Structure 1
Amino acid sequence: MGNYRAKLSRAGFQEVAVNSARSRNNTDKQSLERSDCSPFVVCVEFHRVTNINLQNQFYAELDRHTPRFMALYRQKAARTGKISEALRNILNHYDLQEAPDVNVKRTAVLHALTVYLREEDPDFFKTCNADTLDETNLTDTPVGLLTVVADGSAQTSTVHFSPSSMAVVVEGDLVMRDIPRFSDAYALLFGLIYALHLDYPRKLVHTFTFVQKVFMGLDDGKPLKPSLHALKTDLLLKE
């Protein structure tokens, strides 16, 4: 990953610079805990760099492809193998939701996308209980999404469709917290990484590249990997 803290600090995200100072001076805890890394700042910076509205573009493409994504996931889940089993677990949990709304669908699609692309990073998708949020050990998390649950179910499932809140983790720090939905946090993390020209999570490069090129339409001039190109083609086919 490298240089997350320095780049965030240079871009004006004060929480990272503040956390760096804690070990040197902890006399003003209240001011040290102030965070200026807000969703608004991320969206503004992303628009400045790309001239694209981060959330509008992300949700429009995600929602447009959701029916086809779900069909592809179910086709894959009906087969045998580790990937199919992991998809079945997500879809079975999704099917238990009563009248799933758009946010539940977005959560299912985004969680399953990583599995479908044969990527896995347990240090990226983290979960904790609300009453232990401030004690959660994130030192081994260079970048990730933290799902905060209120019902003590942090260890019972890897996918939570109605979290208490979400947080974005960078180099072990909660740089954004109290985000209402999983898909919101996902979009904000992508926007943060892209706007600051940071490396994608090493174990999720295909996932984030797909989001960049297919969801956001941000081409870097490099051809898609065969697996990503195949998924893009499958999404455009009629069911």
Structure 2
Amino acid sequence: MERVALLTEVKKKKRDENLIKAKMQRTFSLRRQEVLQEPKIPEFFNKWPALLDVTEIKWEFMRLTTVPLTSKFLGELDRLTNDLIGVFNTKGGVAGKKIGAMMAKMENDMECSESEADVAGTTMAIYTVQAEGDDHDGPGGLLADVGVVLEGVEVLHNLQSINHACVMLYGLIYALNLSYPRSLKNIFEAYQKILMDLESSKLSPKVRTLKLKLLR
């Protein structure tokens, strides 16, 4: 009954955000039981559309970890940016060349991987849509939209920036109990255990090496 009432409130044009927050809190344990059964993303969001909202993603993360999502993530990223750049600059070989090229392109703007808006079949991604008439590729270009895709479904759009989309994707991974993408496992572990300081006593060798370099 609480879930149905929540669903009704979410669909209203002038919805009561405080009421939604309270009902999401009361239905948290029920929602977690469903999440652990690994439902399909579209089916889950049909039942719990409140989690398609940036504010509720942050509250859900807080319920799970007691850690504030956005301020902690972006604050630690800002604090460690210069140290991360220093670590990247010492990297040699093929990896060093790739990192150097990426850093030159980003022009000191930290970002996650981006893709075009054609996302059908994509398991997990951040997409960007370049503003019409803007010929500047990359982070310096004007963006008409930034969003998040899960299981081929656009679950968030009109986000503030690629950085913000990265934070929201991380929050959704926790909210939905998703596994880290294999190709980005080390990156997401670094987010979790270095930036967010969650389960930081258990580090993979690569993330442990990065953390030790940052502490020097």
Counterparts in 2 of 1:187 and 1:8: CA distance versus 1, 3 Å: farther
Q: Deviations over 1:192-224 (max 9, x none)?
A: 101221111122111111111111111076x21
Matching of residue 58 in structure 1 with residue 73 in structure 2: yes
RCO higher in 1 or 2 (8 Å CA, sep ≥ 6)? 1
Distance 1:60 1:7 in 2: 34
> What percent identity do the matched residue pairs reach?
26
Give the superposed CA RMSD.
2.6
The residue matched to 1:127 in structure 2 has which SS? coil
TM-score after normalising by structure 1:
0.66
How far residue 145 of structure 1 moved from its aligned partner, in angstroms, is 0.5
TM-score after normalising by structure 2:
0.72
Counterparts in 2 of 1:72 and 1:46: CA distance versus 1, 3 Å: same
What's 1:80 paired with? 93
Structure 2, gaps ≥5 residues long: 1-37
Matching of residue 208 in structure 1 with residue 196 in structure 2: no
Q: Are the counterparts in 1 of residues 194 and 200 from structure 2 also a CA contact under 8 Å?
A: no
Q: Deviations over 1:125-151 (max 9, x none)?
A: 3433xxxxxxx4312211110022125
Q: Are the counterparts in 2 of residues 147 and 166 from structure 1 also a CA contact under 8 Å?
A: yes
Amino acid at match of 2:208: H
What's 2:178 paired with? 198
Distance 2:214 2:142 in 1: 28
Structure 1, gaps ≥5 residues long: 15-35, 112-124, 129-135
How far residue 160 of structure 1 moved from its aligned partner, in angstroms, is 2.2
4+ long deviations beyond 3 Å: 151-154
Q: Are the counterparts in 2 of residues 166 and 182 from structure 1 also a CA contact under 8 Å?
A: yes
State how many pairs are aligned. Answer: 178
Amino acid at match of 1:170: L
How far residue 10 of structure 1 moved from its aligned partner, in angstroms, is 7.2
